[in-house]
């Protein structure tokens, strides 16, 4: 149940709600463990890119939440964005502009590589930086943000490990 104060997303309760309704195998390559890593990447990226961290965290949760299979699964980004729209009234106290960014990032994350908007760019870089799980090395040339490129060139998040450990679920 959502019991967050007005204007604040209750991330722990929202994660519980979305993961309990997950349509595919939770241990899948595109399931909640992947979403958590995307969220972690996004929280590292957002302050350095001028991105909206709330939108980036919501993207992490929704972008693959409506996958139906482990293949290309055409349309899964739009389904994820539309799922966020379904939950918006009860769970997402964000502005229309924030929602449009979230929906766009979800819809197009499968088909587009880069975007100049810092929030959309941080969403896509956060997702792409987790490509190692499927045996693909994240390439700097496909990153949208300068910091995403820096991480990809580094080849590991280890230099930022201390900061990653400060992220809480809230």
Q: How far is the CB of 89 from Fe ion (least distance, A)?
A: 25
Number of residues that bind Fe ion (CB under 5 A): 2
Query: Judged by CB, which is closer to Fe ion: 81, or 118?
Result: 81
Query: Judged by CB, which is closer to Fe ion: 9, or 60?
Result: 60
Query: Judged by CB, which is closer to Fe ion: 52, or 64?
Result: 64
Question: Taking the chain, what is the end-to-end CA distance rounded to the nearest angstrom?
Answer: 15
Q: Is 73 left (phi over 0), alpha (psi -120 to 50) or beta?
A: left
Q: How far is the CB of 80 from Fe ion (least distance, A)?
A: 8
User: What percent helix, strand, coil does the chain show, rounded to 5?
Assistant: 60, 0, 40
**Tokens, residue 44:** 């590292």
Judged by CB under 5 A, does residue 39 bind Fe ion? no
Q: E strand or H helix at 120, and its extent?
A: helix 118-128
Q: How far is the CB of 8 from Fe ion (least distance, A)?
A: 25
* Window 74 to 133, contacts with Fe ion (CB under 5 A): 127
* Window 47 to 76, contacts with Fe ion (CB under 5 A): 64
Burial status of residue 125 (CB atoms within 10 A of its CB: 0-12, 13-18, 19 or more): buried
Task: Let me know how long the chain is.
Answer: 170
Q: How far is the CB of 29 from Fe ion (least distance, A)?
A: 9
Q: Which residues bind Fe ion (CB under 5 A)?
A: 64, 127
């Amino acid at each position: 149940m959502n019991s967050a104060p007005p204007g604040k997303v209750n991330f722990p309760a929202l994660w519980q709600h979305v993961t309990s309704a997950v349509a595919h195998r939770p241990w899948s390559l595109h399931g909640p463990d992947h979403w958590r890593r995307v969220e972690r990447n996004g929280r590292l990226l957002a302050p350095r890119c001028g991105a909206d961290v709330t939108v980036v965290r919501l993207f992490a949760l929704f972008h693959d939440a409506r996958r139906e299979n482990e293949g290309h699964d055409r349309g899964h980004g739009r389904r994820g964005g539309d799922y966020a729209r379904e939950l918006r009234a009860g769970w997402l106290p964000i502005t229309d502009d924030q929602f449009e960014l979230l929906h766009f990032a979800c819809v197009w994350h499968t088909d587009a590589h880069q975007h100049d908007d810092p929030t959309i760019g941080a969403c896509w870089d956060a997702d792409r930086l987790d490509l190692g799980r499927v045996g693909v090395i994240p390439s700097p040339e496909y990153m949208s943000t300068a910091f995403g490129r820096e991480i990809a060139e580094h080849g590991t998040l280890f230099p930022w490990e201390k900061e990653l450990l400060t992220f809480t679920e809230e």
